[in-house]
Structure 1
Amino acid sequence: MRGKIIVTTKMLFSLLLHCFCVATTASIPSGGLLAATSNGSPETIRVERPYFDDVSPRNVSTVVGQSAVLRCRAKHIGNRTVSWMRKRDLHILTSHIFTYTGDARFSVLHPEPSDDWDLKIDYVQPRDAGVYECQINTEPKINMAVVLNVEDESHTPATSAPPRSSAAAATIWGSQDVYVKKGSTISLTCSVNVHSSPPSSASVLWYHGNAVVDFDSPRGGISLETEKTEGGTTSKLLVTKAALTDSGNYTCVPNNAHPASVSVHVLNGEHPAAMQTSNKASSYLTSQLSCAILTYLLSSTVGR
């Protein structure tokens, strides 16, 4: 019986100690924890919660063709992750130091071991204007909004880059007219005979008509591969599942060299060789008919 009483007393003591810990924890300010000291008495250890060091402007302005940096300084994030989201389409652009968009103009600036997680956008376009959110994946999630304003929307490929050397030029491989079947892949490779300064994965822009190729468009299936070589820069544009609307003029615009253009024709089941053969046949028939008419007229004149 005494043994049972001792066990019950120990259980009650443990329960009281547990209740004391819960009550003490509840009275600790946010971020406080309990720990035992060497003599067994509880001690509060304060743990800082993540927060944004709001010292940077919430409104950033730039002009078309330049770079923009959206500042975000996150303090005490611990093992949590900082990410950037574009508000208009809820597209996650970056997470930690990784980029989650096919648009190579976006990157994260995070010099170790700083608290800065800045979003950099190279060669800003009018469509980049809007609200961006820097987020920390706490529970609940906390975020800080930054507004990007873009000026001078009358941007064309001819004014997209700074002054270039007359010897620096881009070249698109192959002929000036590219024919692809509907549903296949458009593959365009552009070589630039100089290195970009400073080196950047966005050192070459591609235009379809007068608009910059949008890698995040609802169409999807568009990607860019940029490679630095000894002789300069090579940029490869891939457009999968080609549609008739993908036809048109494509221009490779380096940031320090003259651009190059190519005309893409998406064919709906017709091969360009057939088109050329048809044109030659038509020309031949026209020539033969002209000769026949001329012969008839001459013979008629002689007969009179």
Structure 2
Amino acid sequence: MTTKMLLSLLLHCFCVATTASIPSGGLGLPGAGSGESLRPERPYFDDVSPRNVSAVVGQAAVLRCRAKHIGNRTVSWMRKRDLHILTSHIFTYTGDARFSVLHPEPSDDWDLKIDYVQPRDAGVYECQINTEPKINMAVMLNVEDESLTPATQAPARSSAAAATIWGSQDVYVKKGSTISLTCSVNVHSSPPSSASVLWYHGNSVVDFDSPRGGISLETEKTEGGTTSKLLVTKAALTDSGNYTCVPNNAHPASVSVHVLNGEHPAAMQTSNRASSYLTSQLSCAAVTYLLSSMACR
């Protein structure tokens, strides 16, 4: 019994010593390794791009974002001033067609492009990766007034290239209905882009992300050129005014929109004609009275 106990004790010591001598990475078998080596690298921003970007009104701005080791995670762009998500992956989540993502496969670049920069675009934008917790990188966009910068050469416009807005030069719509304006350009945009046609309401670019909401743009390439359709739902009296279709390579076109508060334009025209007729009749009566008075004298 003593011999068996001694052999058992020696065998136990041998196993403990052997186990202690094995590296923590395993027995060297294929596929074996430490937990650290199998853990995927965490995403991070390759911070080599400028955090301050300047652009001139009317030109394009590109905000750079290079995200490494994102795996199955998503890269998004957010506008800081209103916390509006502009893009997610390669998709755009804004009605403003000036915004798009530049992501050449299979690069790590997820750049935000803003065509035809406006003063209201100035501010902080964040490139985000949906990790837990979320990580982000802020980029500041500065917009310079073109009147304060040296003149740049404008895109060449052919004298024959012009925009045309369908229908009458005066558009009448009832309050609460939809304003629908279609602009045709007899040349193709270069490069093709839904932002190749801008719409102005008065002196301001139509803001598709304004709190008003209900404004959208549809741009279509046809054999004859480009067609841009502006839709403004639930028209209000403040939506009245001059609307201008401004292509980037052709002459613009304008229409005047009148939002009516229950009054039909035909009634307005009839009323104006009746007023003119009454005025002319009164004038004739006055002349006749004066002539008759002079004759009696």
Cα distance, 1:67 vs structure 2: 0.6
- Structure-2 change in CA distance of 1:163 and 1:9 (3 Å): farther
Cα distance, 1:252 vs structure 2: 0.3
In the superposition, the TM-score normalised over structure 1's length comes to 0.85
User: Do the aligned partners of 1:35 and 1:44 also contact (CA within 8 Å) in 2?
Assistant: no
Cα distance, 1:303 vs structure 2: 2.3
Cα distance, 1:29 vs structure 2: 18
Tell me which of 4, 8, 26 is aligned to 1:14: 8
Find the aligned partners of 1:269 and 1:8 in 2 and give their Cα distance: 113
- Structure-2 change in CA distance of 1:22 and 1:200 (3 Å): farther
Indicate the residue corresponding to 1:4 in structure 2: none
Cα distance, 1:301 vs structure 2: 2.1
User: Do the aligned partners of 1:36 and 1:43 also contact (CA within 8 Å) in 2?
Assistant: no
User: Do the aligned partners of 2:24 and 2:34 also contact (CA within 8 Å) in 1?
Assistant: no
User: Do the aligned partners of 1:172 and 1:189 also contact (CA within 8 Å) in 2?
Assistant: yes
Cα distance, 1:155 vs structure 2: 10
1:52-106: per-residue Cα shift (whole Å, max 9, x none)? 1111111111101111111111111111100000000000000001000000000
Provide the identity percentage. Answer: 92
- Structure-2 change in CA distance of 1:224 and 1:160 (3 Å): farther
Moved more, 154-163 or 226-235: 154-163
Cα distance, 1:163 vs structure 2: 3.5
Cα distance, 1:300 vs structure 2: 2.0
3-state SS of paired residue (2:212): coil
Find the aligned partners of 1:91 and 1:99 in 2 and give their Cα distance: 11
Find the aligned partners of 2:281 and 2:8 in 1 and give their Cα distance: 111
Cα distance, 1:46 vs structure 2: 3.5
Cα distance, 1:12 vs structure 2: 26
User: Do the aligned partners of 1:35 and 1:42 also contact (CA within 8 Å) in 2?
Assistant: no
User: Do the aligned partners of 1:31 and 1:48 also contact (CA within 8 Å) in 2?
Assistant: no
Tell me which of 206, 225, 246 is aligned to 1:253: 246
1:110-157: per-residue Cα shift (whole Å, max 9, x none)? 111111111000011111011000000000000000111111165999
Find the aligned partners of 2:296 and 2:12 in 1 and give their Cα distance: 128
Find the aligned partners of 1:10 and 1:300 in 2 and give their Cα distance: 155
Q: Which runs of 5+ in 1 are unaligned?
A: 1-6
Cα distance, 1:36 vs structure 2: 8.8
- Structure-2 change in CA distance of 1:275 and 1:117 (3 Å): same
User: Do the aligned partners of 1:205 and 1:252 also contact (CA within 8 Å) in 2?
Assistant: yes
Higher Cα radius of gyration: 2
Cα distance, 1:188 vs structure 2: 0.5
User: Do the aligned partners of 1:37 and 1:43 also contact (CA within 8 Å) in 2?
Assistant: no
Q: Which runs of 5+ in 2 are unaligned?
A: none
In the superposition, the TM-score normalised over structure 2's length comes to 0.86
Cα distance, 1:164 vs structure 2: 1.2
